[in-house]
Every structure is written in C-alpha cells, then in structure tokens.
Amino acid sequence: MLDTQIHETVMKRILREIYQHQQLQSQLVFKGGTCLYFFYDLPRFSTDLDFSFHQQADVEQVPRVDLAKIVSQNLEIKRDEDKRFTWLWIGSFDKGKQKVKVEVNKRRFSDTYTEHEFYGLTVRSLDLESMFAHKLCAVTDRKKLVNRDLYDTWWLLTKNVAINNQIVQERTGQSVADYLLVVKSYIRKNVSHSHVLQGLGEVLAEPQKDWARDHLLDELFFELELRIEVERGGGRNYPG
C-alpha cells in the first residue's frame, strides 16, 4: 500500500540527512523521478531515491557505512547490497506500506549538474538535460521496461527539455536522432494501452490513470515524432 504523505516525508528526511553529511553531500548527486518530483513538479509521485557519484568523487573514499546508517535510521532494511555498479538499500517505514529504494549508481558519464535549495541546505542534482538523457536510455536498457520511464519521457518532451547528447552517445553509441527512432520502435513492440498502467498507476491520481490508459502512448509517439524532426534538422534547434 502506498501512503504518499508519509512516504514523501520519509524520503525527505533521508535526503536531508544525506546532504547534512559533509562527505556525502559533496560526492553524491541526486537524480531520477523523485528529483524531478521534488524540484521540477513532475506530475506524478515517485517512491525511490536515486543518486550517482560526482565525476570527481573517489568512490573508495565515500563512506558507504555512513550512508547505510542514515538509511537504516529511517527504514527497516530488507536488502542491503554492494554490487559492481550500484549500492542498493530497500526498506520499509511501516508494515504493509510501499518500500523505499535508495540506490547509488557507480557508473560515470558526462553528466552536468545544478543545485537546489532544500530546507536550508544545498542539494546538487543532475540538470534536466542529463536526467532526460538517462531517462531515455533507461527505456531500452533496463532488464524490464518500466512504464514510469515512458510517462517521464512524455512529460520531459512536452516541456521542450534538451537532451544531453554526449550521455546518449556514451550509453547507446548512437546519436540522439537515431536513438529516438529506436525508442519509438521499442515502445511500439513492447507496450500496449491495456498494460501501460502496470507500475505506473499507483503513482498517479485517479483522473491521471484514465488519461494515461487512454492517451499516454499516442501522446508519447506524437512528441517523439516532433523531437525526431527537430533532432534531424526539420524544426527549431534545442540547446544542449
């Protein structure tokens, strides 16, 4: 069960404690759906906290134990994993409630950053252009397609957000224009109107669910077509 008010409160506590920590705040970079929800008014709820390492961070010097302590003080930990490419914690704040995932990606890309004011603290995050590039790449390179990525991609397209071309090149080996065609084809083959709410419906309000089921895919394909035209030189150029 998803209790959005308490879930959001718990995520904000964890985020604040991370950015109160001298080493963690300088070496971790906030990103993902919750970053878009907190700082850019993404019109859906988000349940996880995602980070990457700053390009200049020395991973071996980042105190994982301190981050683990922050997470465990706020959640009852169910999984705690130090993988090749990620640090991962999954825990719950109350029995029967939606779990919170906290993940730090160790991979380095040509990310660019911005900063946000957050309850008297400064939170460094990926900028929109970098987050958009990673969202696009995630559509096809996850083990299983995530419909939240489709919703976020549609929303970022409607906001005319530029795409960090270098990240797309690094992650896919393709130009943005070519990769957008891949994304479009991949979605057509793997998503249907009847299944688009799987994993997405729980983070949307009731009227949004009806719209997403009936219109999200059509609107996403339209926005992809518009951006492909732009990236191929058929429309005005976006910065980035």
For 98-136, the pLDDT digits (tens) are: 999 999 999 999 999 999 999 999 999 999 999 999 999
User: CA-CA distances (angstroms) from residue 166 to 90, 137, 172, 233?
Assistant: 31, 12, 10, 18
At 28-38, the pLDDT tens digits run 999 999 999 99
User: How much is the average pLDDT of 133-159?
Assistant: 97
- Residue 176, amino acid: V
Interaxial angle between packed helices 128-141 and 147-158, expressed in degrees from 0 to 180 and rounded to the nearest 10? 140
User: How much is the average pLDDT of 127-154?
Assistant: 97
pLDDT of residue 234: 59
pTM assigned to the model: 0.94
At 66-86, the pLDDT tens digits run 999 999 999 999 999 999 999
Percent of the chain residues topping a pLDDT of 70? 97
Mean pLDDT over each residue of the chain, to the nearest integer: 95
pLDDT of residue 58: 87
pLDDT of residue 240: 43
pLDDT of residue 213: 96
- With cut-offs at 50, 70 and 90, classify the pLDDT of residue 59: confident
Q: Indicate whether 49 pLDDT > 70.
A: yes
Structure tokens belonging to residue 144: 């299983």
